[in-house]
Homo-oligomer: A and B are copies of this chain.
Amino acid sequence: MSAPRLAQDQAILGQPGSRARIDTPALVLDLDAFEANLQTVMARVRAQGLALRPHAKTHKCATIARRLAAAGAVGHCVAKLSEAEALSACGITGLLVSSATPDAAKLERLAALAGRSPGLMAAVETPDQVDHLAAALDRAGHQLDLLIDVDVGTHRFGLRTPQEALAVAGRIAAHGCLRLRGVQGYAGHIQAIPGYAERRAASHACLALLGQVRDALIEAGHPCPIVSGGGTGSHDFDHEAGVLTELQLGSFIFNDVIYDSIELAPDGAKPLRCALWVQTKVVSSQHPGFATTDAGFKSFATDGPAPTIQAGAPAGARYDRFGDEFGKVVLADPTQQLPLGTLLECVVPHCDPTVNLFDQYHCVRGDRLVEIWPIEARGCTS
């Protein structure tokens, strides 16, 4: 973000009507909706008897991590080491690096981070990684807690049998600098199944393997106090399988277009509010039926659905792509023309990669811009 833009936004903080004066495009977080989502899910997870370790790959923001911890989260997952480094530098603790790496230099950095990041944990999946990580930790003089990653069906990471997990656990036990804390398994491939009942059945099938691995570890005398997994799509019923001890939800705080379009509750209710949108403005309106906005590919992730317009355009209007820097609002009435400067609120289509495009959250309450939160781990993909 350019310095003049940030200065312009900072100058209007707290002023009545300042929400409409945020420089566009901007990533806007509705604090009331964010807090309601957090309260809703936290209460539900507590009632399930589980812990919450939200996934920071979604928000990448130290301020949000602190809010989650204050609400009762036991820690934070990150997908990449560099995210852990960035959030740790902001004082965030209890970080779980949820994907393994075979990279020697990264294992050195992970070992170094273990010395300055209280409560750090990491996922592992091969005996070699365990040995290399232990060697790096011994050189650094630090210790680290580990979870064994189990492939519950996504086939992206993880072991597929209790036997493989026992081999890794045995290797962990051989190193004094390592402590096995349990297992994790993320069923990413089932999170966006539209129907509640179908998603529930799919999730329980995935969790069965995780339970078998846990049982095998315990039977062999290995510790397994943590069984981590689950996602926003499955958080309502994952506890029923009796396997997980904690949930790794990410998107629940924002509720993007993807999650808003699936049945999150069995009764058709919408337990979560859309808390995150891109505020954009009509910058050219030379034609009836459509107009050009200032938010394009560089402001919205394009891997999923289109953003939905929640405010600013007449009913039936839809957002379409219009290049890297610009969007197109297509009106239901082809004779209508939107005035220049019209403000639009477009709910983020897929929150994680959309957040990664921005440097700040512009936080609003009602008609006011009340805070600007830096996204410290934006771009931390390594």
Binding site for B on A (CB under 8 A): 1-5, 8, 21, 23-26, 57, 79-83, 85-86, 89, 99-103, 105-106, 109, 112-113, 125-126, 128, 151, 155-160, 188, 281-284, 286-287, 290, 292, 294-295, 297-299, 301-303, 321-326, 328, 340-341, 350, 352-353, 356-359, 377-382
Contact A25 B286 (CB under 8 A): no
* Closest Cβ neighbor of A155 among chain B residues: B287
Tell me the bound Cα distance from A276 to B203 in angstroms: 40
Complex-state Cα separation, A214 to B278, whole angstroms = 38
19 CB < 8 A contacts A-B: A1-B380, A2-B82, A2-B83, A2-B377, A4-B82, A5-B380, A25-B382, A99-B284, A102-B281, A102-B282, A125-B284, A155-B286, A155-B290, A158-B284, A294-B382, A297-B350, A298-B356, A299-B381, A302-B353
Residue from B105, B283, B325 in contact with A103 in the complex, judged by beta carbons closer than 8 Å: B283
Q: Closest chain B residue to A375 by CB distance? A: B379
B126 near A79 (CB under 8 angstroms)?
A: no
Contact B283 A99 (CB under 8 A): yes
A345 CB to nearest B CB, Å: 16
- Scoring A282, A298, A303 by chain B CB atoms within 10 A of each residue's CB, the highest score goes to A298
Interface of A is mostly: loop
Bound complex: CA of A85 vs CA of B148, how far in Å? 48
Contact call A157/B284, Cβ cutoff below 8 A: yes
Residues of B within 8 A of A112 (CB): 4
CB distance A297 to B286 under 8 Å? no
